[in-house]
Amino acid sequence: MATMTISALQKMKQQGQKIASLTAYDASFAKLMTTEGVDFMLVGDSLGNVMQGLDSTVPVTMEHMVYHTTLVRRGAPDAFVMADMPFMSYSTPSQTYDNAAQLMQAGANMVKLEGGSWLIDTIKGLTTRGVPVCAHLGLLPQSVNVLGGYKVQGKQQQQADDTLEQALALEQAGAQLLVLECVPAALGKRISEALTIPTIGIGAGPDTDGQILVMHDMLGINSDYLPKFAKNFLAESGSLAGAFSTYVEQVRDGAFPGPEHCYK
């Protein structure tokens, strides 16, 4: 399989080919995902929830993120790997640059930051220094204490308009990908059509340029609950390899997400 790059992801958007991505946290799963055709992997700070048994991503540290990024890179030496910058690791420019450098040196091809227009200067600073950035709008798990829980974002017209405005500003600042989490399907479509960079949805409807799920959710091994936007692909396919390849196939042909996985 050819090595995935940002320009290849960009080309997939232009050609209307859906992008299938998943979170990964270790070498074995990273290797299997790559073999089964997953386009890129996110070393998510969701490892706080699924690997560490925490109730939010807030306690996840840079040290944790660097460690897991190293493992994923080791398992998939040629894959495109994105890494989350954890809670409060990008609150000042100098801190951001130092932390992003650690993730890139651990094997990331791109870093992901949660937040809107307050990140514009940060994104400009990172891209100028050779660090590709993925922005993240909608539900921001690191801000769960401010948002008052895990709720769908952008349901009101004003909030939807603001989200679109911020997406355009983040693209303008140099973000090369955008993750949209837990927004109404109509807003996912609207933002994806307005941007030239690829949008990756998680609970953002079928019209984003790609989809991402937390690995433990799509394997049905996140024992607490299955989010509305997720689906148990392991139950459907009967093997780990089959779960990953079925997921890729269903994202590609538009079978996933279905109406039952979307927010109105």
- For residue 176 the two structure tokens come to 């090369």
Rounded to whole angstroms, how far apart are CA atoms 84 and 65? 7
Work out the number of other CB atoms within 10 angstroms of the CB of residue 185. Answer: 20
Is 114 marked as a binding-site residue?
Answer: yes
Is 45 marked as a binding-site residue?
Answer: yes
Q: Give the total residue count for the chain.
A: 264
Listed in sequence order, the DSSP H helices in 89-232 are 93-106, 120-128, 144-147, 157-173, 185-194, 215-218
As a whole number of angstroms, the longest Cα–Cα distance in the chain is 47
Tell me which of 165, 181, 193, 236 is the catalytic residue. Answer: 181
> What is the residue whose two structure tokens read 């307005």?
194
Provide the residue type at 184 as one letter.
Answer: P
Rounded to whole angstroms, how far apart are CA atoms 224 and 188? 27
Q: Is the peptide bond before 257 cis (omega within 30 degrees of 0)?
A: yes
Is 46 marked as a binding-site residue?
Answer: yes
> What is the residue whose two structure tokens read 């400009």?
124
Tell me if residue 193 is catalytic.
Answer: no
| DSSP label of 57 | S
Q: Which residues are catalytic?
A: 181
List binding-site positions for 3-methyl-2-oxobutanoate: 45-46, 84, 112
List binding-site positions: 45-46, 84, 112, 114
List binding-site positions for Mg(2+): 45, 84, 114
